[in-house]
Homo-oligomer: A and B are copies of this chain.
Amino acid sequence: MPKMNMVQAINMALRQEMEKDDSVVVLGEDVGVDGGVFRVTDGLIAQFGPERVIDTPLAESAIAGFSIGMAVSGLRPVCEMQFSGFSYFAFHQMEAHAARMRGRSLGGLSVPMVLRAPYGGGVRALEHHSESREIYWAHTPGLKMVIPSTPRTARALLLSAIRDPDPVVFYEPKALYRAFREEVPEEEETFPIGTSRIALEGKDITMISYGASLRPTLEAATELREKDGIECEIIDLLTISPLDDTLFTESIRKTGHAIVVHEAPRSFGAGAEIVTRIVEKSFLFMEAPVRRVTGFDVVIPYYQREQEYLPGVFRIVAAVRETLKF
């Protein structure tokens, strides 16, 4: 299997699906001639032409609203928000229409669109280029919210997202775009939206994470095994909403201990929902409070301070030790 980074894997998913299905179109700012500011759509316009790889004017609400119109009329638009920090310009279109069209029309119309956006910190970017606010989408009924964590999961999930009959918000951890390579099969591979996966098996404690935070979580697990002999089990959510709580439920019933790791601000973040699901479904198995290892409740600072904002290996390791000490 060819090894590739996440940018190449996403590019492959788009290319292969566009070859297969002429209803798939890509649109957004600088996605065509420029190939996207992260080169995720590189080469697509050369292969599929400007009718299917559309450089749009600079207007996020229009990109989303236009995509909604395309989708109700039979296309499968994959639109890009250049950075998730600018996707809020399109928030009302997604909330009022993408998320509601199926219900509003009693299933007569649907909006099979994907809204892609790079999210997260750690790339020394300017303001608005580093946040992690997946909750805005996850809390919105009618939307699905997906965040891959590796090249292979990114490719498989994007394929599933494009084919999904419902609107999917697809956040790409930009810090992982070129961070590492993974084998990704040339032949088609999908991954069901709404299912998490076990990223590492263990018996002592459950670590629940997703997206960019999965890497430090894995590193922390290694350090904990080596230094403390602690065997961590890691659940990679992949889909934030609708949330799959089956795997982490099983896991904590086995380990009795858990932490949640994400970059987003802590309060009212995804961690809260996960802790609550554990309380609701596994209360009697909880041997200690589930700790949240997250960003803080402030705007992520500019890059001189962002590493101290982000939940890193040190913070994760400490949280695991505290939890097991409880």
Contacts and interface: CB of A to CB of B under 8 A. Distances in A.
Interface residues of A, number: 48
A203 interface: no
Given A103-B298, A298-B141, A283 B288 contact: yes
A311 interface: no
A269 interface: yes
Contacts of A272: 268, 272-273, 275-276
A198 interface: no
Interface in A244-301: 264-265, 267-273, 275-276, 279-280, 283, 286, 288-292, 297-299
A268 B135 contact: yes
A293 B136 CA distance: 21
B268 A275 contact: no
Nearest to A134: B268
Contacts of A298: 103, 141-142
Interface stretch (A35-43, A88-96, A178-186, A227-235): A88-96
Contacts of A162: none
Contact of A89 (B92, B135, B267, B273): B92
A89 B91 CA distance: 7
Copies of this chain, count = 2
Nearest to A270: B268
A267 B138 contact: yes
A52 interface: no
Of A265, A279, A286, most buried by chain B (CB within 10 Å of CB) is A279
A104 interface: yes
A288 B284 CA distance: 9
Contact of A99 (B91, B269, B299): B299
Nearest to A128: B96
B103 A268 contact: no
Contacts of A92: 86, 88-89, 91
Interface string A75-115: 00000000001101101100110011001100000000000
Contacts of A221: none
Given A271-B276, A289-B279, A289-B283, A133 B139 contact: yes
18 contacts: A85-B96, A86-B92, A88-B91, A88-B92, A89-B92, A91-B91, A91-B92, A96-B128, A100-B299, A139-B265, A139-B268, A141-B298, A141-B299, A142-B299, A241-B267, A242-B297, A268-B268, A268-B270
Nearest 4 A/B pairs, CB to CB: A272-B272, A88-B92, A139-B268, A283-B289
